[in-house]
Amino acid sequence: MARANQLIFFCFVPVIVGGCASVPPSTDPLPAIEASKTDRLAAPAPGAPASPATAPSPHSADLLFQAIATAGVDYRNGGRNHQTGFDCSGLVAFVFREAYGLDLPHNSKAQSAYGDAVDAQDLQAGDLVFFNTQRTPYSHVGIYLGEGKFIHAPRTGAAVRTDNLRARYWSTRFDGARRIVPAVVAVDYSAPPKKPVVTYP
């Protein structure tokens, strides 16, 4: 499994407790719909500076590695690590804690209040993507990987996997996205005192 996760990592990085139980069981990509909030993830208009897939991500590579390394771990309601399994918000909380030391709440609705809102056409790898999967806004969350793909813990009986944001099921339930990037504070530490030199006569 670790080898498979590494393979997935090398494929994605270069391009680089809310309910989760009503996600479709199939892992096959679903057909994209003609018009939705996520259609703007397609190629940019002529003259646009850069597509979301090629724009540099403000997130650390470690965050993406931590996210992709969870692929294949079993879903478990309330789960928050590789040993116990993950639910959707538990996966997000785990990844951000491991990558940034940031403690996010174990609840997708609460996580939707963190960071800054991001338009669908501006998504970058590492952004959080939210969905209404239980007739409740922000009831499911995943981590965007780039090129229209996101990783998430879908439902009981399934494992952490990637899905297509443009698929009909997800695009019609898309609630928005947030970018959580902890500020980096530079601290100017004074130089340590020099070690005394001992000489002998």
Catalytic positions are: 88, 140, 152
Q: Which helix (H) or strand (E) holds 109?
A: helix 108-111
Residue 115 has a CB neighbour count (10 Å cut-off) of 16
Which pair of structure tokens corresponds to residue 195?
């070690």
Which pair of structure tokens corresponds to residue 127?
């952004």
CB 32 within 8 A of CB 42: no
Which pair of structure tokens corresponds to residue 51?
């597509």
**DSSP 3-state of 118:** strand
Q: Which helix (H) or strand (E) holds 144?
A: strand 140-146
Which pair of structure tokens corresponds to residue 125?
């790898």
The three-state DSSP-derived secondary structure of 172-189 is CCEEEEEECCCCCCCCCC
Which pair of structure tokens corresponds to residue 89?
């918000």
d(CA 109, CA 104) in angstroms, rounded, equals: 11
Measure CA of the first residue to CA of the last residue in the chain; give whole Å: 64
